[in-house]
């Protein structure tokens, strides 16, 4: 007779928390455990699955290929677990919807979309939060947000309700030109935001050095830094501020990002789904007609 092993959800939650926070210590604080206790949970999970989840040779918290696979399934298993718990509780209509959107999309896309959404769903109060995509997705997983628009590098981070490709470009001051004798100066939200990671990976592949010279909390401060000639910024083409120039051909070509609309699981998912569908229809780029 074969022996069946069940995976404890606390081990999966420990793994997901470590990945989301990028730190065993921060994960422990979030879970209300000690750091050694989290390490024990991860060790037990590795022994149960007979795989190494983390790359011990890399700096910081980095998953192995098998670790990435385990994390993806862990998220799905925890989502089903939490959804099942919600099913036995009374269902209450949504009165306030916690909505997250990346900072660079707020100014260009949010105002018009929000006006339409408030007309379509007059009984819902929208609580808006702007942040970098990584933080928004983390908080959605942890139940702190209900609906999120977020950018990812290669594929949707979760089971996205909707997603599409976003063209991204280098932007600079109008009279800027790259100095090939010096590292490419970069302007970004954070050292590790999705735009900074896309810029660094693209420049690395091209064999070009770079340095991050300015980080800011919003598109206004970043645009001001770029206008002053401090460096280059990566943005979705359709949200580039009018005062900045698009550097077509001046630097290596950037691959597209994936923009997705995500919603949390729960008893109100049907209502959230309708809001997500409307949001996607309002902010996704128009489909261009095929060339004759």
- pLDDT-derived band at 209, boundaries 50, 70, 90: very high
The closest alpha carbon to 168, from 247, 109, 227, 280, belongs to: 247
Looking at the chain, the domain(s) classified CATH 1.10.10.10 span 9-87
CA–CA dist 223, 77 (Å, integer): 41
Q: Say which CATH architecture domain 168-246 belongs to.
A: 3-Layer(aba) Sandwich (3.40)
> Which residues have C-beta within 8 Å of that of residue 191, sequence separation ≥ 6?
212, 215
Label each residue of the chain as H, E or C. Answer: CCCCCCCCHHHHHHHHHHHHHCCHHHHHHHHCCCHHHHHHHHHHHHHHHCCCCECCCCCCCCECHHHHHHHHHHHHHHHHHHHHHHHCCCCCCCCEEEEEEEHHHHHHHHHHHHHHHHHHCCCCEEEEEEECHHHHHHHHHCCCCCEEEEEECCCCCCCCCEEEEECEEEEECCCCCCCCCCCEEEEECCCCCHHHHHHHHHHHHCCCCEEEEEECCCHHHHHHHHHCCCCEEEEEHHHCCCCCEECCCCCCCCCCEEEEEEECCCCCHHHHHHHHHHHHHHHCCCCCCCCC
- The better pLDDT of the pair 253, 180 is held by 253
User: Percentage of residues in the chain with pLDDT exceeding 90?
Assistant: 28
Domain 9-87 has CATH 1.10.1060.10: no
Task: Give the pLDDT score at 104.
Answer: 79
Cβ proximity of 275 and 117 under 8 Å: yes
Q: For 127-137, how does the pLDDT look when each residue is reduced to its tens digit (9 = 90+)?
A: 889 888 888 98
- Single pTM value for the model: 0.66
Task: Give the pLDDT score at 134.
Answer: 86
Q: What is the CATH number of domain 96-166+257-283?
A: 3.40.190.10
Mean per-residue pLDDT over the chain, rounded: 83
> For the residues 89-107, what does the mean pLDDT come to?
73
Cβ proximity of 244 and 233 under 8 Å: yes
> For the residues 192-197, what does the mean pLDDT come to?
87
Looking at the chain, the domain(s) classified CATH 3.40.190.10 span 96-166+257-283, 168-246
CA–CA dist 146, 272 (Å, integer): 8
> For the residues 163-168, what does the mean pLDDT come to?
91
């Amino acid at each position: 007779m074969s022996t069946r092993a069940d995976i404890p959800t606390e081990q999966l939650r420990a793994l997901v928390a470590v990945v989301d926070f990028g730190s065993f210590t921060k994960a422990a604080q979030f879970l209300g455990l000690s750091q050694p206790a989290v390490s024990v949970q991860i060790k037990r999970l590795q022994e149960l699955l007979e795989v190494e989840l983390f790359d011990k040779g890399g700096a910081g918290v980095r998953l192995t290929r098998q670790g990435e696979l385990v994390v993806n399934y862990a998220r799905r298993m925890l989502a089903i677990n939490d959804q099942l718990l919600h099913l036995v509780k009374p269902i209450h209509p949504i009165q306030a919807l916690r909505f997250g959107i990346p900072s660079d999309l707020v100014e260009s896309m949010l105002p018009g979309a929000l006006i339409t959404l408030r007309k379509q769903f007059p009984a819902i109060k929208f609580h808006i939060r702007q942040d970098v995509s990584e933080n928004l997705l983390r908080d959605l997983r942890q139940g702190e947000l209900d609906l999120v628009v977020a950018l990812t590098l290669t594929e949707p981070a979760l089971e996205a309700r909707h997603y599409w490709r976003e063209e991204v470009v280098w932007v600079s001051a109008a009279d800027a030109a790259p100095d090939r004798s010096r590292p490419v100066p970069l302007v970004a939200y954070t050292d590790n935001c999705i735009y900074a990671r896309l810029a660094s990976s693209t420049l690395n592949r091209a064999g070009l050095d770079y340095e991050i010279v300015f980080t800011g909390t919003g598109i206004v401060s970043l645009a001001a830094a770029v206008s002053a000639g401090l460096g280059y910024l990566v943005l979705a083409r359709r949200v580039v501020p009018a005062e900045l120039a698009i550097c077509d051909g001046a630097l290596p070509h950037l691959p597209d990002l994936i923009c997705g609309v995500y919603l949390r699981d729960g008893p109100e998912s049907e209502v959230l789904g309708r809001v997500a569908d409307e949001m996607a229809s309002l902010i996704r780029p128009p489909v261009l007609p095929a060339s004759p």
